[in-house]
Amino acid sequence: MAYRQGMSQSTTRLGARQIDLADWRWVLGALRARFDTGSFAAGAEFVAAAGRICDAAGPHPEVDLRARHIRLALRSDDLGGVTEREVRLAERLSALASEQGLDPRPDRLQELELALDTPASEAVRPFWAAVLGGGEAGGEILDPAGRLPPLWFQATDSTAPDRQRFHLDVTVPPEVADRRIAAAVAAGGRVVDESRAPAFVVVADPDGNKACICTELGRE
């Protein structure tokens, strides 16, 4: 079942819990998939065929073609989320990938965000936009070329000079999160806060530096 009953209009944003796709996962506001191709030529052949499907049906996915794998992202820019239209296109692209012998690897999906903990986001945001050559959107700094991870600003009331200022937010599929947290603990880390799971769990390395393992669940 591609999406759960109750919201089936292409102009209606779907929630993360309403989508059930074998190859795709909702990660950072988009449907994302990774397919191992085995060769660059096989990946290019898939992109060409997918392009014909998308030109006819729309929308057009973001595509990252590498030597032996391809990554795709689908979202509705108009609505800032995912609708039935993107779900149906994801199904068609999965069918194409299967026909061409590509291997779906949703377990390897992840997206990185940088977070700056600051009590003065309005004051520092223009500086970071200038340094990163990005534009501001929704309080975040985004790279127009899509090469750098987004930078967002988390409010804090701490002004201690030795406070941790930057931390990483790593968003993974829900079924990957527990394994990622366990691996971090096995590598010498510890869980600092899991009160907001499954949206995010805060972990820290042996030196106390923190990061968040995130999923889209619990953010609705």
| Mean pLDDT, the chain, whole residue set | 91
Residue with the two structure tokens 């299967």: 98
- Per the structure, the count of domains in the chain is 2
Together in a domain, 71 and 139: no
Q: Is the peptide bond before 150 cis (omega within 30 degrees of 0)?
A: no
Q: Is there a domain that residue 6 lies in?
A: no
Boundary of a domain, candidates 39, 73, 108: 108
Distance CA 103, CA 69 (A): 9
Q: Is there a domain that residue 7 lies in?
A: no
Taking residues 9-23, report their average pLDDT. Answer: 79
Distance CA 215, CA 202 (A): 12
Together in a domain, 140 and 86: no
CB–CB of 25/106 below 8 Å? yes
Those residues with Cβ within 8 angstroms of residue 36's Cβ, 6 or more apart along the chain or in another chain: 68, 69, 102, 103, 105
Boundary of a domain, candidates 51, 73, 108: 108
CB–CB of 216/28 below 8 Å? yes
Q: Is there a domain that residue 220 lies in?
A: no
Confidence of residue 161 (pLDDT cuts 50, 70, 90): confident
53, 57, 174 from 71: Cα distances, Å: 17, 20, 18
Distance CA 135, CA 10 (A): 29
CA angle (219, 62, 7) in 5-degree steps: 45
Together in a domain, 133 and 194: yes
Together in a domain, 100 and 163: no
Q: Is there a domain that residue 8 lies in?
A: no
Together in a domain, 64 and 85: yes
CATH of the domain at 155: 3.10.180.10
Together in a domain, 131 and 162: yes
> What are the residues facing 187 on neighbouring strands?
none
Together in a domain, 162 and 194: yes
Together in a domain, 179 and 134: yes
Closest to 85 measured CA to CA, from 20, 137, 14: 14
Confidence of residue 163 (pLDDT cuts 50, 70, 90): confident
Amino acid sitting at position 115: A
Those residues with Cβ within 8 angstroms of residue 86's Cβ, 6 or more apart along the chain or in another chain: 31, 59, 74, 75, 76
| Predicted confidence (pLDDT) at residue 8 exceeds the cutoff of 50 | no
CATH of the domain at 72: 3.30.1360.20
Q: Is there a domain that residue 158 lies in?
A: yes
Taking residues 86-112, report their average pLDDT. Answer: 97
pLDDT in tens, 173-194: 999 999 999 999 999 999 999 9
Confidence of residue 146 (pLDDT cuts 50, 70, 90): confident
Boundary of a domain, candidates 84, 108, 132: 108
Q: Is there a domain that residue 1 lies in?
A: no
Q: Is there a domain that residue 11 lies in?
A: no
Together in a domain, 74 and 115: no
pLDDT in tens, 17-71: 888 999 999 999 899 999 999 999 999 999 999 999 999 877 889 999 999 999 9
Q: Is there a domain that residue 5 lies in?
A: no
Together in a domain, 49 and 98: yes
* Domain assignment of residue 148, given as a range: 111-214
Together in a domain, 104 and 115: no
| Predicted confidence (pLDDT) at residue 121 exceeds the cutoff of 90 | yes
Together in a domain, 135 and 52: no
CB–CB of 75/29 below 8 Å? yes
